Each structure stands twice: as structure tokens, then as C-alpha cells.
Structure 1
């Protein structure tokens, strides 16, 4: 039965992102909008300052000849200038095409060529080089606008400051031009083309409309999850829909955002910025959990025993609280003591002010979520995909059911098809895939429902994802296996793991390929007399294999007989985006890993 919550806010939504943005500037002009690193310090700007800069850049794009729905690419990491460029494109009536900075030259050219980008914002020399190398493949590309002004040649390549100056001239002749354009943008006008990195095949351009982004932000605002008084830390790739939806949410709610896309700086930045919330992929939480656990194990002795007992008490205390059951006095007292001794220190590592984290883009292990909850750090798991502008369901701070991805956004519908597939309907669903009508027809039903490809079930209004339909496989013995469930269990058990990948389709038993987190295993090596040993050598060592084998044995003790891992191997490298084995949103490209390791997997059955 489809679920549809209160939709009263729909009647008052802004018609497009440009109006939504300028409304926010008018309402919150002198309040902080963004802060970003400038050298060793952080610089802050108000909504009024952002509004002025965006207006100049939007006018500059119109001066260059940009027309409605024409595409402008952004090839850059997550930074303040990315936000300015994206807002300027949409306020000028154009549509942003996003490109991950890690995307190779040929794929960058494919994305920009397929979307027919007339202009591209490029972050630095490496992004500019891709465009120069593939200029012949990009006949529609007229100008490149660089964030680094030293790269400008003022012919094919201009600086973002030059674009703003062009905007000044345009506004001198047409002072109300940007406001008029904003008013005329229709809700069903194209706002963004996000090319799904996908786990197979060429990327597909998802056509996301203005109404979708506006709806996402306004639907989250309507749920009273966030307010102007919150502070976001944003590091997620803005080329991904998860990052983009958090921008829409900021426009709707008005909170300030500290932005820095450097992944290696996340923990340091949390300590400096002290945000109240942050969005992240599960891998970030797995890595943080593993780091804290292994550091405590390395200290050993009394500290480790106190730590372990604290989380045993904390998890039980939190379970009873969530189930609405009475908490025994003894457990309350122990929890209070451990909160001072252990949990407060864990919270401090994340800045000390986090109200909650939002987890998306892949499944979060329930045991890791419970571990963070026990420390007083709430992780709200949500669900969605690029094809529905990232957000479809989310848990709430006051109603968070671990193991589910929450309830549907108001104004949306969720149903479970006869084969168990989760299907979505609402203003957030894409208009289709760019230039791919056959793919669009496969993904959207005739009555407008989005086929997600995920299996799931509804439980008292909460959606539970049970796996990808295509990832389920059957052994030669006829037993169905859900790899993500087994993989998540191992990640909760082993603090040193980076990736755990299960295979065995049409085979008589299940096997696994394992990679270790380079930082975590380096720390383990120091504690075990192997400091300085290279990763590839570590994973071949008997000591490491014995340690990992103990965790595999523990995993097997929790699985059905037909699910148990009979054989496994440690790969000599961790999976990376650069190797093509991870998507930019840190999802494993299972088929790529399987192809790359075909001989190894076959040898398990030899």
C-alpha cells in the first residue's frame, strides 16, 4: 500500500531554485551562509554577499550568450566556488552538468559532449588539461571559466573574476535581468544533469528538474529536522546528488555551511568547525568506528576493558530507550558514569556539538549505527538515488529505527512491487535519462513510478532495504545469497577491513575477496612488530592472515550454513576511485572487481 504523508507545504513551494535562492538571500541577508578554508584560517560570507556574487556570475553567463536549459559543466572538487557556479548557472536559466574531479579525460569529454555543454567551470590545471586534450571532441564548448585566474588566457579560457566583470557590464544595461529570468523559470525546466557513475556501462545523464530540487529542500524543512540555527559541515562530492540535495536543503532551511571537500581533512575539520550535522557515506562511519576501536585495542589494559564495558552498557541502554522500555537504575547509573569517561570523548572527536549525522548513498550497518547511538551520536539513515534527486525517505531524530531508512518524505509515495522491488513516485523523480529514451522506458513505469532496482519491505511506514535485485545470487545448490547483508556483518566485526566482497553465483559455495584499510592495518603493524612494512607485504604475512581468518570464522558463526565463507583471499591493494573499482560515491563496482580478479575467484573452485 503506497504511503503518503502530509503535503500541505506543496502549495507554498518556490517555483524554481533561483527564486528559492533569492528568497533565502532576502530573508537571511546578514546571516552567515558559508565558511570555507583560506590558507590556515576560515573565511565567512553572508547570504547577501553570496547573492551579489551569484547575480554577477549569472549575468556574466547571459552576457556570454547562455540561454534557458543550455548546459554548463562544473569540473571541480567540493569547494565554495562550486556552489557559486552551480547557483549562477541555475539563476541564469541554464542547467548544470556535474563532473567528478577524479573522472578521466575520455569520460569527462563524453559527459560534456553528450550534454552539449557550451561552457565549463574548471577548478585547476588538471581539469583544464582534460578539456584541452579533448577539445576536438567538444565542438559545442565555447569557453572555459577557471577558478584559478593564473590559468586564464582571456580567449578560450577566462577567469571567474572576468566572468563577474562581464556580468557587471550586462547588469549595467539590463539591471533587472537576473530577477526577471528567475521569475520566468518554470518548475519543469531542466536544472541539472548528473551522470550516474554506475557500477556497469557508460554513465547516464539524469535529467533533474527545478521542481525536484526545490521539493527536496522544502520536504526536509517541512519535517522540522533542521533549522537556521544548525551548522552543516559539507565535504561530499557536489557532483553527486547527495551533496546537491544538501544544498537544496540549506536554501530551504537557511543554516550556514562550512565547506571543504578534502576527505583527509574531515576529522580535523569537524574539530575546528564543530558542526551540528553532516551528511556522509557509510564508509566514513565504518572508518571512524574502526579507527576508534583499534586505537583503544592498542592501548589495551584497563582502558580497553572500560571502553568495551561502556559500549556494552551504552548499546543496551539505547536499545531500551528506543523501545520505550524502563531502564533499570543500575544501568542508568553505569551509563552516566561511562558517558563522562568514554562517550563524551568520542563525541569530542567529532566536534562535540553533533546533533546527528545523515547516512546515505549505500547501506549502513545496523551494528555500527547502534555503536554510534550508544555514544550519543545519532546517525539518521536515509534512502534515495540520483534518479529521484537523492532523497526519498529518512529517519527522524525523535523517531529513528535502526536497520530501516526511515519514512517517505511528505508528498512522495513508496510501494513494493510484486517482485519485492522498491518503487518511488513524486515531484522528485527525474524527467528521464538524457538522450536515452529506451533506458528511460526501462526505469520509469507507464504510470510514472521509478523502478529503483532495490529490494525492500515496508514495516509500519518505515522502509527497510534488503538488497539490490541484481546483487542477489543463487548458489548451484539453489540457495539465495544477499551479499550486502553478509558484507555489512563483516565490516561491523573487523575494524581493519576496508572492503569485503562476496561471490558465488551458480557455484557450490560462497567465497570472499577482502581489502584492508591502509591506515588501520599500518597501526596494527606498529603494535605487532611489523611497523613500516608495505601494505602488499603485510597482507601476504601469516600474522595478518591469521588475524583476518579469526574474524572470518567469527562471521561464519553468525551465518546460515549455505552462506558461510568457505574460501577467501586478501587483495594486494585497497579499492580506489582511481583504479575504477569504486564509484566517486564510494560504492564498489562489483562487476569490475569480479572481472579484475576472475582467475583468483575461479581458483577457489579449482
Structure 2
């Protein structure tokens, strides 16, 4: 396995004419072959050197996914620098905290919503380079910097154990922590994921989940360095559906909330009763499945995945019925997204996160916590030796914080260790399995189960956009759903009420992380008063 710096040069030499990056700008599709991408990255690496950056210096990356995010990261790698990705949805305070904590000297900025407000968080003294997109602004312009040839620039070779990137956690459990990953870790995940999942030359990948998150960084970017995949990007949220249909990827991953939204989009055009009826007719079922997948732009995809949070078995089964068999995987920022997943040669077990990837060792401790040891485990949390020590066992396993069990090698997550709460009856409840059961209801888009110190837990729910406007009708259906749900739960787990919130939970209002996980503590604090006032089994926020 080549180191990641040598691998970039190898790809440019071995497959110079292969299409690598495709980016829409003002609805025109721009492309880079491997030779063109490598040349532009070398030009930028030389420019970074001219600006005085030395190997080991930190460089930030703040942008929605785009071709220049990849090109910038390639330049950082070739110059021997350390990349510090920041979520493009991060508030100014978070941007300031991460760039200061990581000691960044420079930052690439690109496609960012509310850029003026967010980039106010860039600390004084940190210069910026604007990627060549409309409205992107910086101290220097990308195109001016890459006009000069790379000249005598040579890759600044780094050792395998040198720091390559600082991956900051998404902040679902507090202040983001910076996981230190080496050049060796970066190379291992790219090479091993590509080979173990059977990625093929010519595979097309649509990159839209944040590249600042470990999963997209590993499964999309790092894999593209080692496998002959081509990466495509969306121009904007508004053009997402159109761009996806244009690309028609062969490999496609998402997160549970978006898989749910894709499902709701299908059901708006094809009501559940009609779809069920059509799928029971053998001759028609195949046509319906092809039409659904083509409408989404997934008709050429052969491998589908989901991660970030548990996905309801009922949703997995629904997608399987329409010809989209989703394999759930798991990993953490601290393992560079490496952990569990399976390829097409293994039949998935719905409700599990698949089984361990090569060289990943998994075990369960006495507290039912999942532990992992693997070759790409972080070198530690940056500037947090005590926290690093607390997260590790004496024999080198990382404490994931996930409660789980393993059966026949397949791993099932039952929730987070710290999410367990005790009711007034003294019984512990794991909220995630209950939330997964609630997700079966097509009118419920997302749910958060709470109940610490309460007689019975309750669920805060956000209704899907297509839910009927008739509140009485919705209440009757939710009452029926609640009855069915409670019959499946243990007495101490049964929900006392469903509370329908009026506010949409989004990243921008702080209710979700950038990877669309619920921020349980934030939601609990926000709705404490509403929970106290709720007296009906089905209660609507005014």
C-alpha cells in the first residue's frame, strides 16, 4: 500500500486521462482528469509554500462539498501540511474555536451559506483563500494563485506517523474534539475500504454529505485516491435532485433522515396503498421499482449504504421492497469512520450495523459498551491528553460510548451509554430503539424520546411535510400508532404521550448536528416547559 502522498502521484501517472472530478457552476458542468487535478493541486501546493507555510502547519477548509474542496486537500497533502476541515454550517463561534484550537495559519473558504456571518469567526491573523465560486471571498483568490506553474515544487514527504489531519467531532455531545489522524491512517482507510467493499474502476460517486465529516472523507475522498472512482458534486441544495438524476451514481450512501425524506418524496407521488398493490403484481413490480429508482437518479446504483445514526428496520424493509437494499455501516471520528460495513457479497441483516471491516477488532465490555481497536485509530485528541487516556482501555481499545451486542459477527447498536435515562420508577430506558419504532409511521419524520425522572417517557415528534392539515385526523392516527407501539414495549418503556412540535429541527437552529443527529440535551432544554404542560396523550404545541 502506497502512502497517500505517493498515491496521488501514482494516480496522475497511471490514469492521467481518467475523469476524476465533475463540478456544476452556474449550471455548466466542469471536469478535471486525474492529470489536470494533480497539476492544479501541485500549483496550489507551491502557492502555499510561497505564502510561507511549512510542513506540519495547519490549514482550515470551510466549504460545502465541491471539486475545489478535494483539490485544496490534495494541495495540503502534497505540501506536507495538516488539514482542518470545518463544517460549512458551523456558527462563527464554532469556526473561531476550531481554527484557534488547531492553531490554523490559513483557511480555504468556498461554498458557504450566510458566509459573512459565519466567516466573522475566522480569527485575526488567519489568512483566507477564496475558492472560485460565486460569492466566495478571501484575502487571496484561488485562480490567481494557481496561474503560476508549480515549477520546481517537490512533494514535501512526511513520515507515516506524521499528523495529516485534525478531524473535529460534530458536537452532538458538547464541544467538538479534534481527533489526530496520521498519513498512515488516511492511506489505510482509503485502500482498505476500497478493496473490502469491491469498489470497481469507473464507479461514480455523488458527494453531498459533508466532506468535513469523517465518513465522506473516508468513503468518498480517501477511497477515490486508491480506487478508480469519479466524484460528482451538487451545485446547491435547490439543484440537488436534478444533479443527482444527472449523475446517476453507481455507489450511493446517505443518512437515515435523508432516506426517510427520499421515501416521503416517493409516497407523495405514489400513495402507500397504491404502491403496495402494484408491488404485489409480478409483471408490474419490476417496472415500478425501476421507475422509482430512475426518478431518484439511483437506477444505476448497485450498492447503497446508510450511517451516522440507526435506521428503522421498517424503513430498511420498505426500501428493500422497492429494489434499494441498504447496508448500514458504523465508524467514528476517532477511527476515521472505519468500523463496520459489508459489500455486495454479504447479505445484510436489517437492524444491525453489519460486521467488522478487515483488521477492526470489536468487543463488548461488562457495561455493554462497544470497544474497537484498528490500524487507523486516532493518535489521540489534540491538546487533550487526559481525555485521550480516559477514552482508551489498558489494552488499546477505544471506548466508543455506544451500547451494543454482537451476534454471528453482526453488530447491533442499542443506543449511547450516556443517553440511558432513569424514570421515576427507577427503571432505565434506552431511547434510540423506541425512536426507531416511531420512525415506522410515515407521518413522523423525526422523534426524540425523553423521560429522566418522569413516571413514563414521552416522545417529541416532528411531522412530515405531507402529513394532513386536519389536526383531529392526525391525532386519531397518532393515538392508534401509540397504542400499537406501547404493546411492543416493556411497561417502563411505554410512552405516556406524543408531543407534536411546531418548529422544524434543523442544523441552523441547533437542534441537529451537521450530520443530522438530534442534539438530545439541546432539545430537552428547549422543550422542558412544553413537556411539563402537556396533559393529553397526543399534544400539539400551540
In terms of fraction of residues, the more helix-rich structure is: 1
Aligned to 1:48: 35
Does 2:484 align with 1:563? no
Does 2:92 align with 1:146? no
Does 2:255 align with 1:348? no
Aligned pair count reads: 533
What SS does the corresponding residue of 2:309 show, helix, strand or coil?
coil
Structure 1 149/273 Cα, relative in aligned 2: closer, same or farther at 3 Å? closer
Structure 1 68/284 Cα, relative in aligned 2: closer, same or farther at 3 Å? same
Q: Deviations over 1:131-188 (max 9, x none)?
A: 87456x444x2x21011488799xx80101222235x2xx33xx2522xx1xx21111
Aligned to 1:520: 466
Aligned to 1:318: none
Contact 1:113–1:138 at 8 Å: present in 2 too? no
Q: Please state how far the C-alpha of 1:292 moved relative to its aligned partner.
A: 1.8
CA distance in 1, matches of 2:516, 2:381: 22
Contact 2:46–2:153 at 8 Å: present in 1 too? no
Does 2:145 align with 1:163? yes
Aligned to 1:59: 46
Contact 2:160–2:183 at 8 Å: present in 1 too? yes
Q: Please state how far the C-alpha of 1:126 moved relative to its aligned partner.
A: 6.3
Aligned to 1:598: 528
Instruction: Give the counterpart of 1:195 among 163, 168, 190.
Output: 168
After the TM superposition, which residues 449-464 of structure 1 pair with which residues of structure 2 at under 5 Å, given as runs? Answer: 449-464=397-412
CA distance in 1, matches of 2:531, 2:520: 13
Contact 1:124–1:148 at 8 Å: present in 2 too? no
Contact 2:24–2:235 at 8 Å: present in 1 too? no
CA distance in 1, matches of 2:112, 2:340: 39
Q: Please state how far the C-alpha of 1:268 moved relative to its aligned partner.
A: 2.4
Structure 1 157/491 Cα, relative in aligned 2: closer, same or farther at 3 Å? same
5+ residue gaps, structure 1, are: 1-12, 298-303, 314-333, 529-540
CA distance in 2, matches of 1:87, 1:472: 42
Q: Deviations over 1:57-97 (max 9, x none)?
A: 11111111211221101111111111111111111100111
CA distance in 2, matches of 1:598, 1:125: 33
Contact 2:23–2:235 at 8 Å: present in 1 too? no
Structure 1 148/408 Cα, relative in aligned 2: closer, same or farther at 3 Å? same
Supply the RMSD in Å over aligned alpha carbons.
2.3
What SS does the corresponding residue of 2:232 show, helix, strand or coil?
strand
Q: Which deviates further from its counterpart, 143-152 or 100-109?
A: 143-152
Aligned to 1:383: 330
Does 2:404 align with 1:416? no
What SS does the corresponding residue of 2:448 show, helix, strand or coil?
strand
Contact 2:66–2:233 at 8 Å: present in 1 too? yes
CA distance in 2, matches of 1:122, 1:339: 45
Instruction: Give the counterpart of 2:188 among 180, 202, 215.
Output: 215
CA distance in 2, matches of 1:583, 1:152: 24
After the TM superposition, which residues 438-477 of structure 1 pair with which residues of structure 2 at under 5 Å, given as runs? Answer: 438-477=386-425
Q: Please state how far the C-alpha of 1:51 moved relative to its aligned partner.
A: 0.7
Q: Please state how far the C-alpha of 1:310 moved relative to its aligned partner.
A: 4.7
CA distance in 2, matches of 1:151, 1:39: 12
What SS does the corresponding residue of 1:376 show, helix, strand or coil?
coil
Contact 1:366–1:403 at 8 Å: present in 2 too? yes
Aligned to 2:509: 579
What SS does the corresponding residue of 1:563 show, helix, strand or coil?
coil
What SS does the corresponding residue of 1:407 show, helix, strand or coil?
coil
After the TM superposition, which residues 9-20 of structure 1 pair with which residues of structure 2 at under 5 Å, given as runs? Answer: 13-15=1-3, 17-20=4-7
Could you state the TM-score of these two structures normalised by the residue count of structure 2?
0.92
Q: Which deviates further from its counterpart, 110-119 or 17-26?
A: 17-26
State the structure with bigger RCO (CA 8 A, min sep 6), 1 or 2: 1
Q: Which deviates further from its counterpart, 70-79 or 350-359?
A: 350-359
Does 2:198 align with 1:252? no
Contact 1:109–1:131 at 8 Å: present in 2 too? no
5+ residue gaps, structure 2, are: 537-542
Does 2:210 align with 1:237? yes
Aligned to 1:177: 154
After the TM superposition, which residues 296-335 of structure 1 pair with which residues of structure 2 at under 5 Å, given as runs? Answer: 296-297=270-271, 305-311=273-279, 334-335=281-282
After the TM superposition, which residues 542-561 of structure 1 pair with which residues of structure 2 at under 5 Å, given as runs? Answer: 542-561=472-491
Aligned to 1:489: 437
Aligned to 1:206: 179
Q: Please state how far the C-alpha of 1:472 moved relative to its aligned partner.
A: 1.9
Q: Please state how far the C-alpha of 1:605 moved relative to its aligned partner.
A: 7.8
Could you state the TM-score of these two structures normalised by the residue count of structure 1?
0.83
Q: Deviations over 1:373-396 (max 9, x none)?
A: 122212111100111101211022
Contact 1:276–1:355 at 8 Å: present in 2 too? yes
CA distance in 1, matches of 2:488, 2:119: 54
Q: Please state how far the C-alpha of 1:591 moved relative to its aligned partner.
A: 0.3
Contact 2:19–2:31 at 8 Å: present in 1 too? yes
Aligned to 2:59: 72
Structure 1 247/48 Cα, relative in aligned 2: closer, same or farther at 3 Å? same
What SS does the corresponding residue of 1:486 show, helix, strand or coil?
helix
CA distance in 1, matches of 2:235, 2:75: 20
Larger radius of gyration: 1
What SS does the corresponding residue of 1:118 show, helix, strand or coil?
strand
Q: Please state how far the C-alpha of 1:52 moved relative to its aligned partner.
A: 0.7
Aligned to 2:539: none
Q: Deviations over 1:410-455 (max 9, x none)?
A: 1221111121111111121111111111211111223321110001
Aligned to 2:540: none
Instruction: Give the counterpart of 1:94 among 81, 87, 90.
Output: 81
